[in-house]
Chain A
């Protein structure tokens, strides 16, 4: 069963638009961890953020922000004023007792930002 769902397969926006990437997760644990990674065309996965289940504070880092809502099991990622360099595949991932040492990844959202 899919534990992390990224419903948006592909998103295309024009530069300077805001864009939100959705992530919905499923777990029975009370303690769990959520992650976002970016995969640019070069292929390497770059870590963006980690959030534990006890910390529902939203986080902002420059043009990036994350909205964690336990009530809806969502951990959405917003890019403000998108830029061409934001074009990449973005993955949401979950770590809980069922995943053991590993991460359970969503299938990714491919974001294309055009000039």
Chain B
């Protein structure tokens, strides 16, 4: 079974803090993704990585950065958290190929005060 884990289920941070969200997958997948989910907006792609040390901007990268130093780990970084980054963050991974299925982690609910 594919396993995607995220470091925290719930996180509370203050405005201006630097926030790290970690995602780890155990299936040797090349591709990894970060989405945020907001009511009425569905899932929106923040960043993705198609291989180690590779990263590509998604639809809403502003205010975020990512790191992929190892194949199994994909980190999302909020350089200076703001209240409008309060959201549900979902990580996913898949193997190469457009037809391949993305598998998701349990999500991190982030509240920025």
A residues with a Cβ closer than 8 A to B are: 9, 32-33, 35, 37, 42-47, 50, 52, 91, 95-97, 99-103, 105-108
Task: Pick from B9, B31, B109: contact of A101, CB below 8 A.
Answer: B31
Binds A, one of B11-19, B40-48, B66-74, B75-83: B40-48
Q: Give the most central of A102, A103, A107: most B CB within 10 Å.
A: A102
A44:B101 contact, CB within 8 angstroms: no
B40:A107 contact, CB within 8 angstroms: yes
Question: Chain A residues with Cβ under 8 A from B102's Cβ?
Answer: 35, 47, 103
A101:B104 contact, CB within 8 angstroms: no
User: How many chain B residues touch A (Cβ–Cβ < 8 Å)?
Assistant: 26
Distance, CA A102 to CA B47, complexed state (A): 10
Can you list 23 A-B contacts (CB < 8 A)? A32-B98, A37-B104, A43-B9, A43-B107, A44-B105, A45-B90, A45-B104, A46-B104, A47-B101, A47-B103, A47-B104, A50-B99, A91-B43, A95-B98, A96-B98, A100-B48, A101-B31, A101-B98, A103-B45, A106-B42, A107-B40, A107-B42, A108-B42
A50:B101 contact, CB within 8 angstroms: yes
Is B88's beta carbon under 8 Å from chain A?
A: yes
Q: Give the most central of A37, A91, A101, A108: most B CB within 10 Å.
A: A101
Distance, CA A74 to CA B48, complexed state (A): 27
Known A-B contacts A102-B48, A102-B58; the reply to A43 vs B41 at CB < 8 A is no
Q: For the complex, would chain A's binding face be called helix, strand, loop or mixed by DSSP majority?
A: loop
A38 to chain B, nearest CB (A): 11
Is B106's beta carbon under 8 Å from chain A?
A: yes
Task: Pick from A9, A33, A37, A46: contact of B99, CB below 8 A.
Answer: A33
Cβ-closest chain B residue relative to A106? B42
Question: Chain A residues with Cβ under 8 A from B45's Cβ?
Answer: 102-103
Distance, CA A108 to CA B92, complexed state (A): 17
